[in-house]
Amino acid sequence: MSEALREAPVHVFVYFDYICPYSYLVRPLIDTIASERPLEVVWRPLETRPELPADGVPNVGDGPDEIAPEEWERLGERGLAAGIPLYRPARIPRTHLTLQASEFARDIGSEAFRRLHEALFRAYFVHDVDIGALEKILEIAATEGLAREALEAALEDGRYTDELAAAEREAERYEIRQTPTVFFGRYKVIGAAPIDLLSETARRASAAC
């Protein structure tokens, strides 16, 4: 048995939003680390732009909370170098419903969550889909095998708004100011850090168990 398999699993919490390209870039890195050492990864929903209107806003990159066009270009190059396609979307959607949909999938099971989680990121950053629109969320979820009518009912009655509020309170408690923020045990990594830093932090957390 390898040394890694004898280690206790490291509890990892990733605070993210589906409109955050840095969250999108860090996801496959964490998957890679999880293939090398035992991690128990929990993705926590954190709505970064709750002030947006329901139909979102154009992604022009001139607001205080928006990413400038030149940064989008840099992110696209970084994604290309890592084999992760990433393009600048035309709009910034509000993800209030989107994050609730992923919580619905989580309740079904880890595989359902993984499929929808990846599909929502891919739809936004690769195919420029308005992932904040109810109809688009339902279409993506149905494609990934989730029950469309059950999800629509859950989103209409706000079944998962309490979970989003709980994650927001956690963010305040742990002084989380941006996504992604990743906790490997008690060790915090902010932003789309390189895999070497993430892997080393995971190793430190494992040693501290």
Domains in the chain, CATH or no CATH each: 3-208 (3.40.30.10)
Average pLDDT over residues 123-133: 98
CA distance 30 to 172: 24
How confident is residue 6, by pLDDT bands cut at 50, 70 and 90?
low
pLDDT digits (tens, 9 = 90+) for 44-92: 999 999 999 999 999 998 888 899 999 999 999 999 999 999 999 999 9
The answer to whether 183 and 167 are in contact (CB under 8 A) is no
Write phi, then psi, for 145 (nearest 5 degrees). 90, 10
Using alpha carbons only, how large is the chain's radius of gyration in Å?
17
DSSP-derived 3-state class of residue 188: strand
The whole-number pLDDT of residue 63 equals 81
Distance of CA 113 to the CA centre of its chain: 11
pLDDT digits (tens, 9 = 90+) for 133-146: 999 999 999 999 99
Joined tokens for residue 63:
């607001």
Average pLDDT over residues 95-105: 98
The whole-number pLDDT of residue 8 equals 76
The whole-number pLDDT of residue 136 equals 98
pLDDT digits (tens, 9 = 90+) for 157-193: 999 999 999 999 999 999 999 999 999 999 999 998 9
pLDDT tops 90 at residue 26: yes
CA distance 93 to 90: 10
Give the dihedral of Cα atoms 121, 135, 162, 23; nearest 10 deg: 10
